[in-house]
């Protein structure tokens, strides 16, 4: 759940991550920490790992909030007196050559818990529930629950009211009656599995925790609750870890077939089924990986690509157009419209898609058609390779962390892992042949 406006970090401080390496000798770490403290900076996190090089014994990662880019440079200079290996892993962008901070491990996503921009507990004046004190109180209760969630905890279950379950049932029945003719084959395949394993039916709203466990078994994707709209940067960064942020509240019962925002119907009927498909999961993560450390300009482009694919994407299957975007699969009005001859259908091309203007309060006049999820993934990967980012990243599924491929040792280690996978593939092909 995200907004497509460019992300802006706290303008008073620069959230920065530095990496420095030391040898195992008395006072080495103390000297480095003292150098940071002398700059009048307080660390928000410090993490150590055994160094993978022969020259150093330990690598340290530290997070802190700097007052300016010049202060970051002062810290680097000061640390340089005690160690020659000091690197900026991430920093909020305030200059052309700086790299915005980005999460490097799964628990870093906990920092997004309260960074919502709008909606959630606060409703706009044109929201159907804006003048309903009971609905507003209910929304506030659910968003407070989302606020407390942290990595590793089960998603809190919500005891939905009879009115909320009834609203879900109306939406569920209307949409599922259209999926057999309008939804892509992957969505049609997964939905019955969600009915069988996660309690999808028209009687009650499924619990996100049950759906998250199912997705994790299928593709490694998990769902986290969120209070409201996240920035594009935060929302897309989470996809790099195969994490999807979902609301748990539902639209107002007075208008069950309309919502001005993503709600649990949009999340569980539109988004969740496709995250169980391996190709779609890979494609979604590719956008997330491209967003790590990207400039505000590139984030805006990636958010637009996300809008025209994961939210409002169409694909070609068996010579016919089918919907796979969650915004389409959770809106029966636009689901019917998008496949008609009324809008324009263009081939998916990230370079052109990224700069396409679009409305957010009416049906889309233009949709982009993907030939397959794998084809779309390759195109996004090529697009990301030409972005203005001074490094590449990969997701380490074993440690659920992001590796920045910015030195020889990391690249060699990555190459070795690819070589091992190729050996396995060769053995399998030989055994089959």
Binding residues for Fe cation are 266, 271, 311
Helix 162-182 / helix 185-197 crossing angle, nearest 10 deg: 150
- Cα 192 from Cα 158, distance rounded (Å): 23
- Cα 37 from Cα 48, distance rounded (Å): 18
- Cα 56 from Cα 158, distance rounded (Å): 50
Q: What are the distances in angstroms from CA 384 to CA 90, 104, 225, 393?
A: 18, 18, 28, 11
Helix (H, G, I), strand (E, B) or coil at 328: helix
Helix (H, G, I), strand (E, B) or coil at 426: helix
First-last CA distance in the chain: 46
- Cα 362 from Cα 360, distance rounded (Å): 6
Residues contributing to the annotated binding site: 266, 271, 311
| Cβ partners under 8 Å of residue 402, min gap 6 | 102, 103, 104, 105, 240, 241, 292, 393, 394, 395, 396
Query: Residue 372: which region, alpha, beta or left (left: phi > 0; alpha: psi -120 to 50)?
Result: beta
H helices within 124-258, ranges in order?
Answer: 133-147, 162-182, 185-197, 208-219, 232-239
- Cα 163 from Cα 165, distance rounded (Å): 5
- Going by DSSP bridges, is the β-strand pair 86-91/14-22 parallel, antiparallel, or unpaired? antiparallel
Q: What are the distances in angstroms from CA 245 to CA 54, 187, 203, 212, 228?
A: 41, 19, 24, 11, 9
Residues acting as catalytic residues: 266, 271, 311, 330
* 113 close to 242: Cβ distance less than 8 angstroms: no
- Cα 70 from Cα 321, distance rounded (Å): 53
Q: Residue 88: CA atoms inside 13 Å, Cβ hemisphere, count?
A: 23
């Amino acid at each position: 759940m995200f907004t497509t406006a460019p992300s802006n970090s706290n303008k008073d401080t620069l959230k920065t991550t530095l990496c420095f390496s030391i040898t195992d000798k008395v006072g080495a770490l103390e000297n480095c920490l003292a150098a940071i403290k002398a700059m009048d900076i307080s660390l928000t996190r410090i993490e150590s790992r055994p160094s993978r090089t022969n020259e150093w014994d330990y690598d340290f990662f530290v997070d802190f909030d700097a007052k300016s880019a010049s202060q970051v440079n002062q810290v680097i200079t000061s640390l340089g007196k005690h160690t020659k290996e000091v690197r900026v892993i991430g920093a909020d962008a305030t200059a052309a050559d700086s790299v915005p901070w980005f999460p490097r491990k799964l628990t870093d996503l906990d920092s997004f818990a309260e960074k919502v921009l709008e909606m959630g507990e606060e409703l706009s004046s044109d929201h159907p529930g804006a003048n309903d004190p009971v609905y507003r109180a209910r929304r506030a209760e659910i968003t407070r629950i989302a606020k407390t969630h942290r990595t590793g905890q089960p998603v809190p279950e919500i005891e939905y009211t009879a009115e909320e379950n009834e609203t879900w049932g109306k939406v569920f029945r209307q949409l599922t009656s259209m999926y057999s003719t309008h939804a892509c084959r992957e969505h049609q395949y997964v939905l019955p599995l969600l009915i069988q394993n996660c309690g999808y039916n028209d009687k009650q709203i499924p619990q996100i925790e049950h759906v998250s466990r199912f997705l994790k078994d299928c593709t490694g994707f998990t769902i986290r609750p969120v209070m409201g709209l996240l920035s594009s940067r935060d929302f897309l960064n989470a996809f790099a870890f195969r994490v999807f942020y979902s609301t748990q509240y539902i639209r107002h019962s007075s208008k069950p077939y309309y919502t001005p925002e993503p709600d649990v119907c949009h999340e569980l009927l539109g988004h969740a089924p496709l995250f169980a498909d391996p190709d779609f999961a890979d494609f979604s993560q590719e956008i997330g990986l491209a967003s790590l450390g990207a400039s505000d300009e590139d984030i805006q482009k990636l958010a637009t690509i996300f809008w025209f694919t994961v939210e409002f994407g169409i694909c070609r299957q068996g010579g016919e157009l089918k919907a796979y975007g969650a915004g389409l699969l959770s809106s029966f009005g636009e689901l019917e419209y998008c496949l008609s001859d009324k809008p324009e259908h263009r081939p998916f091309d990230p370079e052109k898609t990224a700069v396409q203007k679009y409305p957010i309060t009416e049906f889309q006049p233009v949709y982009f058609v993907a030939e397959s999820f794998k084809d779309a993934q390759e195109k996004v990967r090529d697009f990301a390779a030409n972005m203005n980012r001074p490094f590449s990243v990969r997701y380490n599924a074993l440690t659920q962390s992001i590796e920045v491929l910015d030195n020889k040792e990391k690249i060699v280690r990555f190459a070795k892992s690819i070589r091992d996978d190729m050996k396995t593939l060769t053995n399998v092909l030989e055994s089959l042949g």
